[in-house]
């Protein structure tokens, strides 16, 4: 379906080889693969940020907002300005002077503590078009709260008590073409609603039977997967079933075939990503959209794990072209079983599957056998050649861990706390306050890495209006327009293996000029409509020979 330049070339080369040579090549490749320790590199970024990175969101000022929950008891960092929070209903501390949210500066690595007044446990969020982070729901006193965080050097959380019409705990969010955010589901909430609300008449929810119908035998199907399709409907996935919802008329417009095998949503937590949307030359035209769902666990796995029997996690992915007339899931085997994996779209259009466990499920103390090795999924390769096992981490990241793509193309990984409180000893998997950085294998391809020097006319892009990217190459020369790729990645809100709003667009490149002294000018077409790419901030990358530039923030409006 897609045409990433490097794989186009590989396929061409393969086609010209004789069957014997091809067999030898495959044999050689397999041997090398089995001997190699795997690509990519891990680095400890911070030993402690004082809290456990349960939720993460990247803001356009290159700071990451991180939080866990206010009823976790004493964290390892105090609230700012000597504050304390008083809550007679708190399950851990009724007077709590400990912070449960921090801001991480990606440039200086400084951590600043932030003030949360109400409980954000297992909540959801999205970056609004103006660059404010909007967080929704949580637990207990926080279950109907909407919180906003405006990016600036000394900003703090602002909380709106009745921002949600009903309680939303374990809901999923998606930013819409009109800039609103839809909040879907949550524990015992079989409905959706929109935020922010501008007048009281909007305080209504819309029932969605799909959510009650797809619960497993333990009543669970939390954090449903939500993707905005290029036809403007929402692809909703819960456990094994998928529909597309017209959220404007509140009708289910399609029911997709069920995905065979295990359950995929909390606590049988798998992960999902919409594969890169390849924009057509006339970028208002409809484009294809494929959804990938990987990992999970048998539907009775959580029940068994709570009794001490840890069943193997799912080893499969399902991939479906949601825009087809009669779509079917194609099933692929992952190299490793995985529950609670995070799927992170890399600037190259590949998908990184990282974190999680080989056995058990999400939930307190019910994951076993951490999967330390991430795997790379290459959507363009033929089935059977799409996965690559990468270098293992040293820190297990199980329940309540998270991951996020960074502007420089590396991946921030943090969290893991399968314990009811912060617990650093006498437990199988202690609470992790650390942050790791994973460098995908492309970070090594220094000689082909481009550097974006400027974007003309500016960093605000208008739908369909051509723009130019000026780039510089230090070493290798660019051999032609089909060796580069321009991608735009929407920053996500990540928690519980779900990267809400994650979206990658492959822009049309109209031309490439220059070359002397290593500078080039690339003419691009941005997305043609807000349905393809909702308004807001994106990281723009230029990928050359599989190596991405550092991403540059652009605002689409
Ligand atoms: C957090 O604080 C606890 C209790 O004071 C301490 O035992 C633990 O080592 C600290 N953890 C880190 C990573 O700083
Ligand atoms: C940590 O977990 C162990 C095992 O469940 C328990 O005995 C201990 O009290 C916990 N510590 C804290 C600080 O909650």
pLDDT at residue 25 greater than cutoff 50 = no
H runs (alpha helix) in 478-531: none
Q: How confident is the model at residue 10 (pLDDT cuts 50, 70, 90)?
A: very low
**DSSP of 22-37, one letter per residue?**
HHHHHHHHHHHHHHS-
Identify the helix (H) or strand (E) that includes residue 439: strand 435-439
The ligand 1 atom at the shortest distance from the C-alpha of residue 48 is 13
Q: How confident is the model at residue 87 (pLDDT cuts 50, 70, 90)?
A: confident
The ligand 1 atom at the shortest distance from the C-alpha of residue 425 is 7
Give CA separation, 208 vs 26, 135, 211, 248, 508, in Å: 49, 22, 6, 13, 37
Of 31-35, 263-267, 468-472, the range with the lowest mean pLDDT is 31-35
Two tokens, residue 66: 């991180």
Q: Report the percentage of the chain scoring pLDDT > 70.
A: 92
pLDDT digits (tens, 9 = 90+) for 463-495: 989 999 999 999 899 999 999 999 999 999 999
pTM exceeds 0.85: yes
**The pairing of beta strand 519-525 with beta strand 290-294:** unpaired
Rounded distance from Cα 361 to ligand 2 centre (Å): 21
Rounded distance from Cα 539 to ligand 2 centre (Å): 42
Rounded distance from Cα 212 to ligand 2 centre (Å): 35
pLDDT digits (tens, 9 = 90+) for 199-215: 777 769 999 999 999 98
pLDDT digits (tens, 9 = 90+) for 350-360: 999 999 999 99
The CATH number given to 8-443 is: 2.130.10.80
Asked whether 48 lines ligand 1 (CB < 6 A), one says yes
CATH number, domain 444-556, options 2.60.40.60, 2.40.30.170, 2.60.40.10, 2.60.40.420? 2.60.40.10
CB 440 within 8 A of CB 346: yes
Q: How confident is the model at residue 2 (pLDDT cuts 50, 70, 90)?
A: very low
Report which of residues 283 and 126 the model is more confident about: 126
Contacts of 532 (CB under 8 A, 6+ apart): 230, 277, 279, 283, 284, 287, 505
List, chain by chain if needed, residues with CB within 6 Å of any ligand 2 atom: 421, 423, 426-427
Average pLDDT score over residue span 129-156: 96
Nearest CA to ligand 2 atom 1: 423
Predicted pLDDT at 30: 40
Average pLDDT score over residue span 179-198: 95
Domain boundaries, the chain: 8-443, 444-556
Two tokens, residue 217: 């035998």
Rounded distance from Cα 307 to ligand 2 centre (Å): 19
pLDDT digits (tens, 9 = 90+) for 388-431: 999 999 999 999 999 999 999 999 999 999 999 999 999 999 99
Nearest CA to ligand 2 atom 6: 426
Q: Report the percentage of the chain scoring pLDDT > 90.
A: 86
Q: How confident is the model at residue 242 (pLDDT cuts 50, 70, 90)?
A: very high
Report which of residues 335 and 218 the model is more confident about: 335
pLDDT at residue 34 greater than cutoff 90 = no
Report which of residues 383 and 7 the model is more confident about: 383
């Amino acid at each position: 379906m897609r045409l990433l330049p490097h794989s186009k070339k590989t396929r061409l080369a393969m086609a010209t080889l004789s069957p014997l040579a091809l067999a030898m090549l495959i044999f050689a490749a397999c041997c090398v693969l089995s001997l190699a320790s795997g690509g990519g590199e891990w680095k400890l970024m911070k030993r402690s940020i004082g809290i456990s990175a349960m939720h993460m969101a990247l803001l356009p000022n290159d700071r990451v907002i991180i939080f866990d929950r206010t009823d976790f008891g004493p964290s390892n960092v105090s609230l700012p300005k000597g504050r304390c929070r008083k809550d007679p209903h708190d399950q851990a501390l009724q007077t709590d002077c400990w912070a449960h949210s921090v801001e991480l500066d990606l440039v200086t690595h400084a951590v600043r503590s932030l003030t949360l007044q109400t409980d954000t446990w297992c909540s959801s969020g999205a970056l609004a078009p103006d660059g404010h982070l909007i967080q929704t729901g949580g637990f207990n006193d926080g279950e109907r709260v909407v919180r906003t965080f405006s990016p600036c050097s000394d900003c703090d959380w602002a909380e709106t008590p009745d921002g949600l019409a009903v309680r939303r705990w374990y809901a999923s969010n998606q930013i819409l073409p009109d800039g609103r955010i839809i909040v879907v589901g949550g524990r015992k909430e079989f409905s959706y609603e929109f935020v922010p609300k501008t007048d009281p008449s909007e305080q209504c929810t819309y029932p969605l039977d799909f959510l009650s119908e797809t619960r497993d035998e333990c009543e669970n199907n939390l954090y449903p997967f939500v993707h905005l399709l290029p036809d403007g409907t929402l692809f909703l996935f819960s456990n094994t079933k998928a529909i597309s919802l017209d959220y404007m008329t509140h009708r289910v417009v399609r029911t997709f075939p069920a995905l065979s095998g295990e359950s995929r949503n909390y606590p049988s937590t798998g992960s999902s990503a919409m594969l890169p949307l390849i924009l057509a030359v006339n970028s208002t035209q409809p484009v294809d959209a494929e959804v990938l769902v990987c990992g999970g666990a048998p539907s009775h796995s959580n029940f068994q794990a709570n009794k001490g029997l840890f069943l193997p996690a799912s080893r499969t992915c399902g991939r479906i072209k949601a825009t087809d007339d009669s779509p079917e899931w194609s099933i692929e085997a992952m190299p490793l079983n995985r529950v609670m994996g995070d799927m992170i779209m890399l600037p190259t259009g590949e998908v990184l599957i990282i974190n999680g466990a080989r056995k058990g499920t999400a939930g307190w103390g019910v994951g076993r056998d951490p999967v330390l090795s991430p795997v790379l999924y290459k959507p363009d390769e033929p089935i059977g050649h799409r996965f690559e096992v990468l270098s293992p981490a040293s820190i297990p990241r199980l329940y309540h861990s998270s991951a996020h793509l960074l502007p420089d193309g590396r991946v921030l990984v943090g969290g893991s706390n399968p314990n009811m409180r912060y617990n650093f000893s006498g437990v199988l998997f202690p609470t992790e306050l650390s942050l790791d950085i994973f460098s995908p294998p492309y970070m090594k391809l220094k000689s082909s890495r481009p550097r974006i020097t400027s974007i003309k006319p500016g960093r605000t892009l208008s739908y369909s209006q051509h723009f130019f990217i000026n780039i510089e190459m230090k070493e290798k020369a660019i051999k032609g327009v089909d060796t580069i790729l321009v991608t735009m990645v929407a920053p996500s809100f990540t928690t519980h293996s779900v990267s809400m709003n994650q979206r990658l667009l492959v822009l049309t490149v109209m031309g490439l000029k220059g070359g002397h002294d290593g500078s080039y000018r690339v003419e691009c077409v941005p997305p043609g409509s807000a349905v393809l790419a909702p308004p807001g901030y994106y990281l723009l990358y230029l990928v050359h020979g599989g190596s991405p530039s550092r991403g540059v923030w652009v605002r689409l409006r």
